Amino acid sequence: MRFHSLRARIAFVVVLLMLVAQAAAYVVISSVIQSNAVSNAQEQLGVAERVFRQVVRSNSEKLTQAATVVAADFGFREAVATHDERTVVSALRNHGSRIRADLVMLADLDGKLIADSRGYLHDGEPFPFPGLMRTAANRGNPSAIGVIDGRLYQLVAVPVKAPLPVAWVAMGFLIDDRMAREMASLMSLDVSFLDRRPDGRWVSLASTLAQKRALYASPTEVADDSYAMRVMSLPSTGEPVDVVLQRSLKAAMAPFHRLQSALLVITLSGVLLSIAGSIFTARSVTQPIAALIRFARRVGSGDYAEPIKVEHHDEIGELAQAFNHMQEGISRREHRITELAYTDRLTGLPNRALFSDRLQQTIVEALPDQRPFSVMMMDLDRFKYVNDTLGHPIGDLLLRQVAERLRTTLPGDSDLVARLGGDEFAVLLPSHDAAGAERIAARILKALELPIMIEEQPVDVGASIGIVMFPHNGTDMNVLLRRADIAMYVAKRANSGLALYDERHDDNGAERLSLMSELRQAVEHDQLMLYYQPKVDLATHTVKFVEALVRWDHPTRGYVSPDQFIPFAEQTGYIKAISHWVAEQAIRQCAAWRAEGIELAVSVNVSARELIQSSLPDTFSALLKKYGVPAEMLWIEITESAIMDDPNHAIQTLDRLHALGIRLAIDDFGTGYSSLSYLKRMPVDELKIDKSFVMGMVLHRDDETIVRSTIDLAHNMGLKVVAEGVESEFVMRRLAELRCDLAQGFHLSRPLPPSKLEDWLREWRCVNGVSCFGVDRSS
């Protein structure tokens, strides 16, 4: 059982808790036992002390009674009075033996020893216990403890009266190891008698312990921590005498050892039972969880076939039921998600993801034997126009109708048509070569030639189809799709309906991508240049306005036309960086000319992407302040299409630019779809007639009519008119007759760099009757 598993953790926790509980109980009970043992020992010591004192009193009374009897004996008193020592000694021995006294002595009133039971005659020897006689005389307490020859005695002293005291009789019991053992057996504890020596140390004179005649610093040193003890001081005739009562704690705890052993067995049994119970409990919990885990893994791998069996009616059973409900819900949602992930919701056709999967699968199956198949990419023509004019709901209906026609046109069950997004469709033909693909593409184009009726309105759309072949045009899915896309754009540009992929088309695409990647470096390394084309006042023949036009002098390609790189810059969003560069260069050049006394207002072009940027007015305001150029010296030209992409935002931006004092012009007027209502709302100052109408004035009277109408419209609205594309004297004169304000074109001047433009201005003014020695500073 691995420790990190749930079963092991449950068992470990249960066993640990049981061990902690059992250990705590064992410790507490052992502590209580220890405490009770100590308490019992102390109680026994208290009882023993009382017993000991009672024994001492009993012995004292026995000695006192015997001494009193001998002192009152007439013959004994007569022998004392006549100094009959033999009779005295005999009497002392007889009376002492009756109570088994170990010592009997007779002393006179001067404290001289007359006789004792040991048989020695002590002529004039001092009585060894003078304090005993004084205590008996003064306090009436004849009992005391004394030491003779290193032996300990319990003594009493009784006076011999005849009738006045004439001597003292002393009797005593020897306190030795035997007596200590007798007391120990009586009290069930150890007894030690200690006497303090003159040097302050204590000596054991009688004891039940082995340390006979041992020396101690104090009576408490007799016992160690394994004993409970009590020390009693005894009345003595000389040096202090203490008795030490000791109770062995080990002996006191002996009755409890069986209880501790039983407790230990119960504890170990409880631990073993808890281990078994925890394992059983953990298994009962983890086995259903393991089944749920296996079920969850099966569901996670996508197997929803079999639900989990519910065998419990507890929380585990409820969890299993919840898992079954979860499985059903996931299965339903996954089926729905699969539909959404691989189906286009608008048309019901397969989407890009499913088409890519099928195409990759077809490549894998066809690759070993190089079996050919075809892929087509299709884009609707004029779909954007339908969306813009009729609205997106109509566009959606149109896409549904196109999808339905594509379904009915494809012949084989294995053929797959998918909507990739917008108005772009793709077709996979697993069993058709190039010729078969061309026939199917022709049928699709023919099916789409018939007008599609939407809300009882006929909608006419066409399509452009690009075709690639596997493996001739590639064996990689991404390569095939990219090349089919290239072929589709070739068909759209050529208006041919369909086109087979050609490697030359891919080369042109790579050329454009390379050109686009080099455009960023052109801005960063100053490869771009600004040329300026003058605008001539047809009434005064003066030049007060120029248009800034960007040019690219590529280090290896040479001159690159703006028509080649400006559209790509607009598609990638890099037009913003180019436009900012153009604006700053033009304003700086205007400032440089003004510093030389040349007053030329400069116009720059702004794209649709920039026009909807709210930061555009701030950008121009900052540049004008940076170079100190008045706002009226700057003109901004905007195309009609740029305005109509988002008229509301465009007009807001134009209002802010006009508020700064910047002049505004509509470029290429007449080629877009702008409304006069929007034109009336826009704060513009000038209209530029598109060059296609100006250049067509020579051959087509309709173009001249358009030019004349535009001039009249602009003048009626208070606007100036600029005609671009003037390439002949006839056109210039005709424009002057039509009261056009300004003219711009190759007949007057091509776009020129700043230095050559200054030379042209000098020459122009010289030819038109102005001083030829320099540029006229007054214009």
The whole-number pLDDT of residue 213 equals: 66
Around Cβ 511, how many Cβ atoms within 10 Å?
12
Residues 6+ positions from 40 with CB-CB distance below 8 Å: 252
Give me the mean pLDDT over the 764-773 stretch: 65
CATH tag for 343-501 (out of 2.60.40.1120, 1.10.10.10, 3.30.70.270, 3.50.50.60): 3.30.70.270
Radius of gyration for the chain, computed over Cα atoms and rounded to the nearest angstrom: 65
Confidence of residue 645 (pLDDT cuts 50, 70, 90): low
Q: Which residue has the tokens 């794209």?
A: 607
Q: What is the mean pLDDT of the chain?
A: 82
Please provide residue 91's backbone torsions phi and psi, each rounded to the nearest 5 degrees: -65, -40
- 8 A C-beta contact, residue 140 and residue 236: no
- 8 A C-beta contact, residue 472 and residue 500: no
Identify the weakest region by mean pLDDT among 71-85, 231-245, 330-344, 754-768: 330-344
- Are β-strands 143-148 and 151-161 bridged in parallel, bridged antiparallel, or unpaired? antiparallel
Give the DSSP letter of residue 413: S
177 closest CA partner among 157, 152, 148: 152
Hey, which residues does 559 pair with through a beta bridge? 553
The whole-number pLDDT of residue 636 equals: 93
Percent pLDDT > 70 in the chain is 84
Task: With a cut of 90, say whether residue 362 has pLDDT above it.
Answer: yes
361-366 long-range contacts, CB within 8 A, separation 24+? 362/428, 362/430, 362/470, 363/470, 363/475, 363/476, 363/477, 363/480, 366/430, 366/470, 366/471
Class of domain 527-767: alpha beta
| Residues 571, 577: Cα–Cα separation, whole Å | 13
- 8 A C-beta contact, residue 741 and residue 720: yes
Q: pLDDT higher for 143 or 356?
A: 356
Give me the mean pLDDT over the 477-495 stretch: 87
| Residues 30, 43: Cα–Cα separation, whole Å | 19
Task: With a cut of 60, say whether residue 779 has pLDDT above it.
Answer: no
| Residues 673, 29: Cα–Cα separation, whole Å | 103
Task: With a cut of 60, say whether residue 707 has pLDDT above it.
Answer: yes
> pLDDT tens digits for 48-103?
888 888 888 888 888 888 888 888 888 888 888 777 878 888 888 888 888 888 88
Task: Give the CA distances from residue 768 to residues 421, 458, 475, 726, 732, in Å, rounded to whole numbers and listed in that order.
Answer: 60, 60, 69, 18, 15
Q: Tell me the pTM.
A: 0.44
The whole-number pLDDT of residue 777 equals: 34
Q: Where are the domains of the chain?
A: 44-249, 343-501, 527-767
The whole-number pLDDT of residue 236 equals: 80
Identify the weakest region by mean pLDDT among 170-179, 202-211, 295-304: 295-304
> What is the SS3 assignment for 434?
helix
Task: With a cut of 60, say whether residue 120 has pLDDT above it.
Answer: no
> pLDDT tens digits for 71-83?
888 888 888 877 7
Cα within 13 Å of Cα(513), Cβ side: 7
- Spatial strand order in the sheet of 103-108: 113-116, 103-108, 165-175, 151-161, 143-148
Q: Show the beta-strand stretches assigned E in 303-353.
A: none
The whole-number pLDDT of residue 111 equals: 82
> pLDDT tens digits for 308-355?
665 666 666 667 667 667 767 776 777 677 777 788 888 989 999 899
Q: pLDDT higher for 237 or 429?
A: 429
| Residues 216, 210: Cα–Cα separation, whole Å | 14
> pLDDT tens digits for 152-196?
888 888 888 878 888 888 888 888 888 888 888 888 788 888 888
Task: With a cut of 60, say whether residue 562 has pLDDT above it.
Answer: yes
Architecture of domain 44-249: 2-Layer Sandwich (3.30)
Residues 6+ positions from 720 with CB-CB distance below 8 Å: 685, 686, 687, 714, 741, 742
> pLDDT tens digits for 414-469?
889 999 988 899 999 998 888 899 999 999 999 888 888 877 777 778 899 999 99
